[in-house]
Structure formats: C-alpha cells, structure tokens
Amino acid sequence: MLYRIAEPDDWEQAQKTGFFASPDLAAEGFIHCSEPHQVLETAQLYYAGRSGLQLLELDEEALATAGVRVKREWVERRQQHFAHVLGAVPLAAVRRVWAFGTKAVDGKFSLPDGL
C-alpha cells in the first residue's frame, strides 16, 4: 500500500469526480506518495500547521488494474526512494481514508490507529 496526504479541497474534488488528483500531478506529472515508514516525515516537512487533512491508503494492484503506473524514484534530498503515481487515482484504488492531523500537545503528526 502507498499513502498520500490529501488537502481538504483536493479530497472534496475527488468525491465529485471519482478521481483523486493533486496540484503536483498538473505541475510535475505525478502524485507524490509515501511508503508507511515515510508518512510522518513527509507530514512534518510539508504539512505542518495544516488542518482538515486526510491520509489516503492506495492499493498498488488496483492502480495497475486501472492502468495507472507507479514509479519509484530516488529523492536525493531525502536519501530514499519515493513512489510517484503517474496519473489521477480512481477512488476504487483508495482502500482506507483517515482524518489526519497533529496532536494538540506537541504539534507533531501521528499515524492513525490501524496503520
């Protein structure tokens, strides 16, 4: 499974269209995703202080069935491979969705129960 942190407007638009797409798809040609062990660092780096976020769990097999490729690419500044989804994500490939935010006490993100 892959994970994507979704902004409220992007997730709302997905509910209307049946496909999740984010600004990075239009700007870079792919949707940035994380493996489970990368989610918290990604959240702290790029989503600190934001509210109303959703954490989407994406099924790679369902993406492949829908004809959406996933490519893992080395990201030098983070010294890791990251999954890039090369197209809009059909909602049928979204297996679970969690409300995702920071703990009020320390301002850090935590993984949802069950992940």
Please compute, for residue 103, the number of CA atoms within 13 A of its CA located in the half-sphere on the CB side. 8
In a domain, 111, yes or no: no
- Does residue 73 sit within a domain? yes
The pLDDT of residue 78: 86
Q: What is the CATH number of the domain that holds 14?
A: 3.20.170.20
Q: Token digits for 24? A: 């990075």
24 is a domain residue: yes
Which of 10, 11, 3, 8 is CA-nearest to residue 114? 3
C-alpha radius of gyration, the chain, whole number: 14
Q: What is the pLDDT of residues 79-113, one digit of tens each?
A: 999 999 999 999 999 999 999 987 656 778 888 88
- Identity at 103, one-letter amino acid code: K
Question: Does residue 112 fall inside a structural domain?
Answer: no
37 found inside a domain: yes
Q: What gap in Å lies between CA 10 and CA 27, rounded to an integer? A: 14
Residue 55 lies in a domain: yes
Domain range enclosing 88: 2-100
Q: What is the pTM of this model?
A: 0.92
pLDDT in tens, 30-81: 999 999 999 999 999 999 888 899 999 999 999 999 999 999 999 898 899 9
Question: How many domains would you assign to the chain?
Answer: 1
Residue 106 lies in a domain: no
The pLDDT score that the predictor gives to residue 104 is 58
Q: Is residue 43 part of a domain?
A: yes
